[in-house]
């Protein structure tokens, strides 16, 4: 019964939003790129670099919001690199993305060691503080669970809703979706598929950088090279789970966060009777099961991973 009582805990539901935030940013970033027809496997490295740059900006005296902006710009720079290699040059999106992940992750550690002296205790910053929303934060249960989060969490949720509207209801969203489905048809309508794809990749990579920055500027107060811990790869899977729709991406990130938050509390109840590695597997196993169910109904953008060359059919 104790395992069921966990679901009545306010702490569980508050933790879900915190755990889901970097996944929301990462999933939205991957989704925007894939909607335009380009797979970005550089997400893990971009999130790591964004986490480092955001933290380093604040550590050297910058504002927290400036740290988020720096992380977004840093992510966009890697987006430019990925876009130039995969769109105009038509290089392998898989190889380019994995190369960016390795490069960005290694560069993060290199720059961090150059700028921060080696010490026994990792240096820290003052991260984003929990917001108190008058009236809402004082509500029983819901107020504590939903309306006592940091600002980047609310930013992630708002972005998911805004992007859902943009992709479904605006000419810009229609152009992005058309390029991801049939870039030659988009070109025949006077659109430039190359520019649209490059723009989508850069914007998506900026969101990935924000996802990494959340870890150092809100969830934690320091940086270490392995802190992303596979969240980028989870985001890639969540895009499929969401059927390339931002509102479903938000729900998918919350679902994975629920599994993760639950297993952390379940460990405390069971104790050492079960190896902790079993609990660490729970969110991934549950996510795989959910992915198998949703992937059958997912409609992949028809031009995903297909290079576009003018004049070819």
Q: What is the pLDDT of residues 41-74, one digit of tens each?
A: 999 999 999 999 999 999 999 999 999 999 999 9
Q: Which residues contact 112 (CB under 8 A, 6 or more apart)?
A: 52, 56, 223, 225
- Domain-located, residue 274: yes
Q: What is the pLDDT of residues 2-29, one digit of tens each?
A: 677 777 788 889 999 999 999 999 999 9
In the numeric block, which tokens belong to residue 112? 């961090």
Number of domains in the chain: 1
- Domain-located, residue 265: yes
- Domain-located, residue 236: yes
Do residues 197 and 87 make contact, with C-beta atoms less than 8 angstroms apart? Answer: yes
- Domain-located, residue 286: yes
User: Residues 273, 277, 278, 283: what is their CA dihedral angle, to the nearest 10 degrees?
Assistant: 140
- Domain-located, residue 313: no
Query: Residue 272: what pLDDT?
Result: 67
- Measured over the CA atoms of residue 204, residue 210, residue 214 and residue 216, the dihedral's sign is positive
- Domain-located, residue 52: yes
- Domain-located, residue 91: yes
Query: Residue 313: what pLDDT?
Result: 60
Q: What is the pLDDT of residues 251-286, one digit of tens each?
A: 999 999 998 888 888 877 776 667 767 777 877 787
Query: Residue 273: what pLDDT?
Result: 66
Q: What is the pLDDT of residues 223-255, one digit of tens each?
A: 988 899 889 999 999 999 898 999 999 999 999
What length does the chain have?
313
Helix pair 276-295, 231-241: axis angle to 10 deg:
30
Q: What is the residue range of 114's domain?
A: 2-294
CATH code for position 212: 1.10.3470
- Domain-located, residue 233: yes
Query: Residue 291: what pLDDT?
Result: 74
Kindly tell me if the per-residue pLDDT of 1 is higher than 60: no
How far, CA to CA in Å, does 120 sit from each of 48, 55, 114, 117, 123?
A: 22, 18, 16, 10, 9
For residue 272, the tally of other CB atoms under 10 A from its CB is 7
Q: What is the mean pLDDT of the chain?
A: 90
Compute the distance between CA of residue 51 and CA of residue 43 in angstroms, rounded to an integer.
Answer: 12
């Amino acid at each position: 019964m104790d395992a069921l009582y966990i679901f009545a805990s306010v702490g569980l539901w508050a933790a879900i939003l915190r755990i889901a935030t970097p996944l929301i940013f990462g999933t939205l970033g991957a989704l925007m790129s894939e909607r335009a027809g380009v797979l970005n496997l550089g997400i893990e490295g971009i999130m790591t670099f964004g986490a480092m740059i955001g933290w380093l900006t604040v550590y050297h005296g910058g504002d927290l919001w400036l740290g988020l902006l720096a992380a977004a710009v840093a992510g966009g720079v890697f987006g430019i690199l990925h876009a130039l290699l995969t769109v105009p040059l038509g290089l392998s999106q898989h190889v380019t993305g994995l190369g960016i992940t390795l490069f960005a992750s290694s560069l993060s550690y290199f720059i961090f060691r150059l700028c921060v002296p080696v010490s026994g205790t990792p240096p820290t910053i003052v991260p984003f503080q929990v917001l108190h929303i008058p009236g809402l934060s004082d509500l029983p249960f819901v107020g504590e669970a939903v309306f006592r989060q940091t600002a980047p969490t609310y930013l992630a949720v708002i972005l998911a809703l805004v992007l859902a509207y943009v992709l479904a209801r605006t000419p810009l969203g229609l152009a992005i979706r058309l390029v991801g489905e049939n870039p030659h048809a988009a070109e025949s309508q006077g659109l430039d598929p190359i520019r649209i794809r490059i723009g989508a990749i850069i914007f998506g990579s900026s969101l990935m950088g924000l996802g990494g920055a959340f870890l150092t500027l809100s969830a934690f107060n320091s940086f270490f090279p392995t802190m992303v811990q596979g969240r980028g790869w989870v985001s890639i899977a969540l895009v499929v789970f969401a059927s390339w729709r931002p509102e479903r991406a938000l729900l998918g990130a919350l679902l994975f966060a629920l599994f993760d938050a639950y297993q952390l509390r379940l460990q405390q109840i069971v104790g050492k009777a079960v190896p902790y590695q079993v609990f660490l597997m729970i969110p991934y196993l549950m996510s795989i099961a959910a992915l198998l169910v949703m992937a059958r109904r997912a409609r992949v953008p028809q031009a995903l991973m297909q290079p576009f060359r003018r004049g070819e059919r």
